[in-house]
A and B are shown apart, each in its own frame.
Chain A
């Protein structure tokens, strides 16, 4: 057995294809890692700038109602391996009591040129997807067919060795050869990553990279086995080569690009959207009625929500809605830096009103979210998940999905951030309640003491731990492994039954 492996290994190692495979993979991976690191650093700078700017803008505001607490999603360093949704989805969002933040309300801090998105973006996994599968097929196409033709297979089989053993020996030796360029290029990529000062990888990140390597090996093995299957079934090298290339082109190039345009797209669920939006509208109509009712019945005459305060500053209030993403919110801002003498008696009334309005808005926003969350899920997430399932019918799709999950750049990984933002909103609201911010004079005026933003709870977003990543990646890795096992059994059956 060992002799067999050694023979096969030597056979493979001394070939031109091995040298070419290693060289090309190294070249592509190193060149692209270089570019990807620069790109990551740029995004990180953009993120830091945005954080600083939001901080500065917040500090400048002298009233609580005018302040916009914004949180930013940092770029994921593992996006170098698989960029996934990291660049595509919004990376800044306002956290306020008037709206429960979700993925769809997020904006982009536009430090990038949006037109540059015309050029396809790259990551290391994409290189592996294309190159490694190609090499695996090139290593496999003449494994049996070549030996049939040269007659050496007959020679080997005259020895008292089981056919299963020959198959296993071939598989192990070729996989060893194929793993060399994979590991070497990844090693160089990691060295480049660690030399960059802006990227700090913790031990969890290395485990994630380990997961990506594991998935890559499984992916590689799928394509090697496909090549073996073709080689065992065709018995001629030229046919095997041609078929292998066709299968490669189909699985890697055609299927992932074409399938989503071929499958019937579900009509966008307009009925669902309308009904959900109507219910949300009802909530806010009730809200408006209660608000007006309060203004009409409180001790202060008149129904002006600003209590006819005249001074230096500005005020605005109004609803904002966008039915496409089921957005509905009410915003009232009053930002004054001083008042006239005769306005002083109105102050307690205004303060009481804003206290009431704050609680009312929070309640309406929370109830909106209860309707909005499942509706958004059904309108946007479910069709997208359906499309992902279609893509996973090709090993390329499985590989992509699994590595995205490992890197934390999949949809779930990005949504974790918005989950954190929602939790942060809750703690901001608690802070506002605890310090009676809504009822305070600083809510709308900075004339007697300005808003104090320093006590606000800090936002911090930690990517989920490795267990979560593993949980999300493992189904796809498992499927890849299953494909491996099935292919191996089929090849074994074919090989056992063939006559030499």
Chain B
């Protein structure tokens, strides 16, 4: 078997396609690295500036008073850019990188513009809206996901389309099978040979890419990031072996290598290029999205409803305990409902995306894309995780405010109302801070099904190739 593998590799090493592949992959990977080195520092800088600004806001509020903190909340939240952004950019243009903390709504002002009734902060999830200002052509990112998903898979087919049909045309297949080698050994030898010959230029390109990125002092990769890179490399090999197996399968069944290449390319085009987008649009046409106006129209009845409920307490100018409590409940409930409404819209959109992702998983290219995004810490799942982090932090901060207020004996402990709360400044260090985190074990769990599916694809195709090859007459 090793003999066959070795023969295959030697065969390929000298061929034109090997040279072309190596050049192409190297060029792409160098482009990828250079682009990453140019953009990542800017991205990190932007993130840090934004975080500092939002942290300053929180400090200012805390320095003012506990009430101010309860009313205005923390500054906006920002998504931490992944250091493995070059592996999969994960639709960064479409995904917003922030969760906003809305300023308290003003319900009523007097003639001079003084605020009589003002609520408290709430979370909101803005859209990434830079898209419609961009008048340039669509730019697709040259990330690893693109290089592996499109280019490497095509290369794998390019190396295997004539694995059996080519030998049959030359007659060497007959010669090989005349020896006392079992057919499955031949198949596995061929498989390993092709996989290794694709992996060699790929590994070389990856090496150059990582060398460029890790030696630059503008970006830094943590040990955990290296672990993730290792997983991504293994993923790439798994994905490549899928196409190698496909190539062997078709090549074993078809007599001429030209026909074999054609069938392979058509399959590739259908599964890798067309299927993801077609299936996604089919999925989205099943369940139309909630329109923007509908979304806004929902808001008014809710507010009117609340307004009715707490009317008496809100209108009065006296400040007795009962009225303060009515105000407090009104503000809190209003913020809660506003938040819930936004959250529901996000959930609805997310479920639509999840459905589309599930359907498009028929295409191995999408599977790979999702897995890469998962391990690189970018993409849609990561965005949802970020949103979840902010929600958790929002709860934590509200609890903190309530606890701190409880510790102040002068306060009436009626939250969200100026007169009912502690007016003392609090030390900014004691306020919990938001930290956006990435979690590897969590990624593993979400990726498990997709990983399984991809492995299953490989196994099915390999056994298909085996059956086809065993039954074939030379």
**Interface residues, chain A, with chain B CB atoms under 8 Å away:** 16-17, 20, 24, 28, 31-32, 35-36, 38-39, 42, 46, 49-50, 53, 85, 88-90, 103-104, 106-122, 127, 130-131, 134, 138, 141-142, 237-239, 241-243, 245-246, 249-250, 253-254, 257-258, 260-262, 310, 324-325, 380-381, 383-384, 387-388, 391, 411
Contact = CB atoms under 8 A, between A and B. Distances in A.
A228 to B, nearest CB: 16
A421 to B, nearest CB: 15
A127 B273 CA distance: 9
Q: Chain A CB within 10 Å — which of B129, B137, B293 has the most?
A: B137
B262 interface: yes
B298 interface: no
A107 to B, nearest CB: 8
B109 to A, nearest CB: 10
A496 B349 CA distance: 62
B293 A113 contact: no
Contact of A112 (B128, B140, B151, B289): B289
B136 A387 contact: yes
Nearest to B292: A110
Nearest to B366: A119
A17 B132 contact: no
A484 B162 CA distance: 31
B94 A117 contact: yes
Contacts of B350: 115
Nearest to B348: A113
Contact of A24 (B131, B141, B270, B356): B270
B356 A249 contact: no
B284 A116 contact: yes
B91 A104 contact: no
B281 A387 contact: no
A100 B246 CA distance: 58
B352 interface: yes
B269 A242 contact: no
A42 B288 contact: yes
20 contacts: A28-B270, A31-B278, A32-B274, A38-B281, A90-B132, A103-B135, A110-B291, A110-B295, A113-B284, A113-B353, A115-B94, A116-B356, A120-B280, A121-B277, A134-B265, A238-B162, A238-B166, A242-B16, A245-B261, A253-B151
Contacts of A254: 24, 28, 151
B142 interface: yes
B132 A108 contact: yes
B135 A241 contact: no
B132 A106 contact: yes
Contacts of A127: 274
B257 interface: yes
Interface residues of B, number: 65
Nearest to A110: B292
Q: Chain A CB within 10 Å — which of B111, B140, B276, B284 has the most?
A: B284
Q: Closest 4 A-B residue pairs measured CB to CB?
A: A119-B280, A110-B292, A384-B136, A113-B289
Given A115-B350, A115-B353, A131-B269, 6 more contacts: A32-B278, A38-B281, A88-B132, A90-B132, A122-B278, A258-B28
B158 interface: yes
B115 interface: no
A116 B31 contact: no
B285 interface: yes
A142 B132 contact: no
Interface string B101-143: 0000000000100000000000000011101111111011110
Nearest to A104: B133
A113 B135 contact: no
A383 B281 contact: no
Contact of A122 (B133, B259, B277, B349): B277
B262 A119 contact: no
B154 A16 contact: no
A306 to B, nearest CB: 10
Interface string B13-33: 000110010001000100100
Given A28-B274, A134-B265, A245-B265, A113 B352 contact: yes
B158 A310 contact: no
B5 interface: no
A191 to B, nearest CB: 20
A28 B270 CA distance: 8
Contacts of B129: 108
A311 to B, nearest CB: 11
Given A242-B16, A391-B137, A411-B135, A249 B281 contact: no
B277 A119 contact: yes
B146 interface: yes
A106 B134 CA distance: 12
Contact of B349 (A111, A113, A411): A113
Contacts of A42: 285, 288
A100 to B, nearest CB: 17
B142 A261 contact: yes
Contact of A119 (B135, B281, B289): B281
A116 B356 CA distance: 8
A120 B276 contact: yes
Contact of A115 (B111, B265, B288, B349): B349
A325 B278 CA distance: 35
Contacts of A121: 277, 281
A241 B261 contact: yes
B422 interface: no
Nearest to B128: A114
A20 B258 CA distance: 13
Contact of A39 (B16, B259, B281, B293): B281
Nearest to A256: B140
A257 B138 CA distance: 9
Contacts of B128: 114
Contacts of B386: none
Interface string B133-176: 11111011110001000110010001000100010000000000
B35 A261 contact: yes
B259 A118 contact: no
B456 interface: no
A16 B259 contact: yes
A32 B16 CA distance: 37
Contacts of A119: 276-277, 280-281, 284, 356, 360
Contacts of A32: 274, 278
Contacts of B44: none
B238 interface: no
B263 to A, nearest CB: 8
Interface in B5-61: 16-17, 20, 24, 28, 31, 35
B95 interface: yes
Given A113-B289, A260-B137, A237 B258 contact: yes
B380 interface: yes
Contacts of A142: 258
Q: Chain B CB within 10 Å — which of A115, A120, A245 has the most?
A: A115
Contacts of A31: 278
A281 B395 CA distance: 43
Contacts of A239: 16
